[in-house]
Amino acid sequence: MDPEMDSQLKIGFIGAGNMAFGIAKGILSGNVLPVNVKVSAPSSRNLGRFQELGIAVTHSNIEVVCGSDVVFVAVKPHLVPLVLNEISLHVTDRHIIVSVAAGVTLATLEELLPENSVAIRLMPNLPCLVQEGALLFARGSHAKQEDGALLRSLLHRCGLVEEGPEAWIDIHTGLSGSGVAFVYLFAEALAEGAVKMGMPSALAHSIASQTVLGAGKLLRESGKHPAQLRSEVCTPGGTTIYGLHTLEQGGLRAATMSAVESATERARELGRKSAAGSRK
């Protein structure tokens, strides 16, 4: 992506929550200038941290749309129809509207926006806040490859950015959106195991989080299959294989697969509900 073009690009955020903030941070560590970014929110509560980054703030959604090329709609799902109705008249076919609202389908978005609007649905996850997000986007009917490429280049510092068909977004929600919480659960349990064995809690938690981080980093950087890495840690008759056996006996794999399944199913269900709701 042309860095010069990036620096001319105007980015807007409707909604000033965690997702918007994480994405904004990522965008700014690229070539976009803070002066070209604007964010709107009904109250000033969340706007402070944006201002600290040099980003302009407003209470007017319309102002954000009119002043931007790419608009991130980062409000709670039930507010999306409201917001889109409000801004619709000001959306032109040069805008790229990126929705990060869970469960709001491209069909719904395109219905609420003017015909031929370029809409992209994006599912980020919480670690965007520390620029280690996993983001999956799906292009709407009028979003071209170049629009996807532009979004990708804007977001690449937020973490891992991938494109896929809309059907994968619910799976991504289950895997990586909710998946973050699954990892927190696991980290907590690791720490508790250590506490049970006699380690002070604060130290156990600190080590548990570093273990998760380190393992994740090694997994990503080695390019090896996790099964391969697991085998490499297991010395014959050693501590790790004993621990792993206990995990297998506890059915951790099946439970994890089922967890992703449940979260995905729920995402699909919510998607159906919100689509039904917005047709009223």
Partner 1 sequence: MSVGFIGAGQLAHALVKGFTAAGVIATQRITASSPDSELPTVSGLRKMGVNLTTSNKEVVNKSDVLFLAVKPHIIPFVLDEIGPDIEDRHLIVSCAAGVTISSIEKKLLQYRDAPKVMRCMTNTPVVVREGATVYATGTHAELEDSKLLEQLMSSVGFCTEVEEDLIDAVTGLSGSGPAYAFTALDALADGGVKMGLPRRLAVRLGAQALLGAAKMLLDSEQHPGQLKDNVCSPGGATIHALHVMESGGFRSLLINAVEASCIRTRELQYLADQERISPAAIKKTTLDKVLQQPGVTVSGVANGSGRSGLSLFNNHGSNIKKKKN
Min separation Cβ 162 and partner 1, Å: 14
Does 240 participate in binding partner 1 (rule CB under 8 A)?
no
Scored b (16 or more CB within 10 A) or e, 20-55 reads bbbbbbbbbebbbebebbbbbbeeeebbeebeeeeb
For residue 19, the SS3 value is helix
Does 193 participate in binding partner 1 (rule CB under 8 A)?
no
Q: Of 253, 134, 233, which is closest to residue 186 (Cα–Cα)?
A: 253
The only residue of 115, 249, 279, 280 in contact with partner 1, by rule CB under 8 A? 249
Q: Is the dihedral of CA 221, 222, 228, 233 positive or negative?
A: negative
E strand or H helix at 11: strand 11-14
Nearer to partner 1 (CB atom), residue 197 or residue 227? 227
Min separation Cβ 244 and partner 1, Å: 9
Ranges of beta strands (E only) in 15-75 are 37-40, 56-58, 70-73
Strand partners, 71: 12, 97
Does 220 participate in binding partner 1 (rule CB under 8 A)?
no
Residue ranges of the binding site for NADPH: 61
Instruction: Give counts: helices (H), strands (E), the chain.
Output: 13, 8
- Stretches 153-161, 172-180, 183-191, 243-251: which one binds partner 1 (CB under 8 A)? 243-251
Does 226 participate in binding partner 1 (rule CB under 8 A)?
yes
Residue ranges of the binding site for NADP(+): 14-19, 74-77
- Stretches 72-80, 98-106, 143-151, 255-263: which one binds partner 1 (CB under 8 A)? 255-263
Which residues of the shown chain bind partner 1 in the complex (CB under 8 A)? 225-228, 230-231, 245, 248-249, 251, 253-254, 257-258, 261
